[in-house]
Amino acid sequence: MSENLGQAGVEGTLPSGSMPESSDIDQTMDPVDDDSIWTPRDLTRKEIMAAKADQSRKNRPWILAGVLILVGIAAIPAWAFINEFVLPPRELAVRVEDRSYTRGEVVDFIRFHQRLTEEVGEEFNIGSSLFQSLQTISENEMAFQGAPGLGITVSDLEIDYEVRRLLGYGYLTEEHRTESSDAQVAEAQFQFLNNVGLTEERYREIIQKGLFRKRVRERVGENVPRIQEQVHVYRIILDGFEPDVRNRIAQRVNGGENFSDLAFEYSVDSEVRRSGGDEGWLPAGVFPEFDPLFFGLDDEGNRNLPIGKVSEIVRVPGEGSFGVLYVAEYLPAREIDRGPLELLKDAALTSWFNEFRAQVEVELILNSTIADWVNEQVKLSRALPTPEPDNTFDGGFMIDESGQLVPATRP
């Protein structure tokens, strides 16, 4: 029996569980002549490869998880960079038909006008520029697209001259240009583009479409009649809604006192006091909200505001401003003065834009997030301190350097 057992120990296998699996060890036991002793043997190449493959399969989920974690960690700053600097400049801001303008192009447009303003030593108001810029970009594009229908073109020479004019070389007409002057203009343009961060192509496109807008304004402005009925208007700006003050002014006017003298006495607006309240001759359309008062008739055919009488208190242009109006004269036909004529041309251009807008698809995208982002980009390139929005408009008007009637602010 002992001989049989010894033979079984040599030729048989170890009891179950007494020897590890081949995948868990690098070596196994080889039998020797001693019935009770086992010695290790080298694994074959096939066994080594199988063990490594098995271990690789076990490690693969952990390696994959580690890679994903590392990628996720690396993606956080990458996504933040893309979300902050790559995507916003490419997002849609304005669209007119198939021409789209990105936020980045809006920033370019604002920086262009910001630099022009600051280079003449004036302050640039970022707070009010964004919505106006979106409107102007869309209107310039409408002018560009609608120009062929009006027979309007803009040549490269006209763009070249406008470039020189904006850079301060407007005196250099084609016949006065030289190699030296062209070199000076080129250097000035290089400096301007470098300061603003614009390409020359984008720079010329902004100028080109601005010229198309001017040409369209000139063309539609030709339809404004130069001879129209007009009223000679005076005004007094009150400190608020003050019926008692208005009644005292009316009584003194009815008593024969001069309205200009009363404007100097009662108006809280210094510009109105200096001008004696004289707003000049105004045709219909300059202040549309007052046309019924200035030119309208009641059911009996009498003027809504009789000549030589003080109006009731009205809200004059400008938030929170009240005043009284006075028509000194009326003429059924009079040539329009330059300031009011320019305002009527602006009104004609606005009407043209409204008509054209009804025929095309126009989209403007603006919210507080976009406004904050655009304003931050613009502030990064400002040369002068940017003031807070000016809310001092008090309802007065003045003629600016170009002859246009514009809102006046308190000094």
Interval 154-168 mean pLDDT: 94
The CATH label, of 1.10.10.10, 3.10.50.40, 1.10.760.10, 3.90.320.10, for the domain at 228-335 is 3.10.50.40
Interval 209-222 mean pLDDT: 97
| pLDDT attached to residue 407 | 43
Residue type, 320: G
User: β-strand 92-96 against 362-364: which pairing, if any?
Assistant: antiparallel
Say yes or no to pLDDT of 170 above 50: yes
Order of strands, edge to edge, in the sheet holding 362-364?
99-102, 92-96, 362-364
Fold of 95-223+343-380: Triger factor/SurA peptide-binding fold (1.10.4030)
| pLDDT attached to residue 6 | 44
Q: Which of 182-191, 193-202, 316-325, 401-410 has the lowest mean pLDDT?
A: 401-410
Backbone dihedral region of 280: left (phi > 0), alpha (psi from -120 to 50 degrees) or beta? left
| pLDDT attached to residue 368 | 82
Give CATH 3.10.50.40 domain extents, the chain.
228-335
Greatest Cα-to-Cα distance within the chain, rounded to the nearest angstrom: 152
Give CATH 1.10.4030 domain extents, the chain.
95-223+343-380
pTM > 0.75: no
Name the band, by pLDDT with cuts 50, 70 and 90, for residue 40: low
Interval 299-321 mean pLDDT: 88
Name the band, by pLDDT with cuts 50, 70 and 90, for residue 184: very high
Q: Taking the CB of residue 319, how many other CB atoms lie within 10 A of it?
A: 9
E-assigned strand segments in 36-90: 38-42
Q: Calculate the CA 66 to chain-centre distance.
A: 45
Structure-model confidence comparison of residues 50 and 93, the more confident one: 93
